């Protein structure tokens, strides 16, 4: 079973924060509104994973996006999008849950759990990571 490192999870969280805060109103301080916006971005990212949707990854990922994969490779935005949009895994579902959002002034940080269910070369898999 392949696992994504804790560093990768933190990077994913940073992407969601960057993308979510970039679209949120500049002076948004209502915790419920900030949480709703970040959860919406989390769900959009999960859908992009399921669909291997390069266009959606491009829309959501910041220009300086970085990702550390389960093998320790550091990927920039273009590499990640190419890798994930031509992934041999058939992801049937990508679920983000147990998400906590912490707000720090005009920034927010989301942490949570991701579960991917699917098949690779006919063999089913479940990947879980935080």
d(CA 117, CA 126): 5
User: Does residue 1 form part of some domain?
Assistant: no
Average pLDDT, the chain: 83
d(CA 72, CA 8): 9
> Percent of the chain scored above 90 by pLDDT?
62
- Show contacts of 75-84: CB within 8 Å, 24+ apart: 81/54, 81/57, 82/54, 84/48, 84/49, 84/52, 84/54, 84/57
Which of 3-12, 26-35, 100-109 ranks highest by mean pLDDT? 100-109
Other CB atoms within a 10 A radius of the CB of residue 7 amount to 14
Other CB atoms within a 10 A radius of the CB of residue 116 amount to 20
User: Does residue 36 form part of some domain?
Assistant: yes
Residue 97 CA to its chain's centroid (Å): 12
Count structural domains, the chain.
Answer: 1
pLDDT in tens, 59-99: 999 999 999 987 899 999 999 999 998 888 899 999 999 99
d(CA 15, CA 34): 15
In eight-state DSSP terms, residue 69 is -
- Please state the pTM of the whole predicted model: 0.73
Pick from 61, 36, 35: nearest CA to 48: 61
pLDDT in tens, 12-31: 554 554 555 555 545 667 88
User: Does residue 48 form part of some domain?
Assistant: yes
User: Does residue 33 form part of some domain?
Assistant: yes
d(CA 22, CA 60): 10
User: Does residue 88 form part of some domain?
Assistant: yes
pLDDT grade, residue 56 (50/70/90)?
Answer: very high
The CATH code of the domain that includes 51 is 3.10.450.50
Domain range enclosing 74:
6-129
């Amino acid at each position: 079973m392949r696992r994504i490192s804790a560093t990768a999870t933190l990077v994913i969280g940073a992407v969601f924060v960057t993308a979510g805060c970039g679209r949120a109103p500049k002076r948004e301080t209502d915790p419920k509104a900030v949480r709703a916006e970040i959860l919406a971005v989390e769900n959009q990212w999960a859908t992009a994973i399921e669909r291997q949707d390069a266009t959606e990854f491009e829309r959501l990922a910041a220009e300086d996006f970085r990702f550390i994969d389960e093998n320790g490779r550091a990927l920039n935005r273009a590499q990640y999008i190419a890798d994930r949009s031509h992934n041999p895994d058939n992801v049937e579902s990508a679920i983000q849950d147990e998400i906590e959002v912490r707000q720090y002034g005009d920034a927010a940080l989301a942490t949570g759990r991701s579960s991917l269910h699917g098949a690779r070369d006919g063999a089913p898999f479940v990947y879980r990571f935080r």
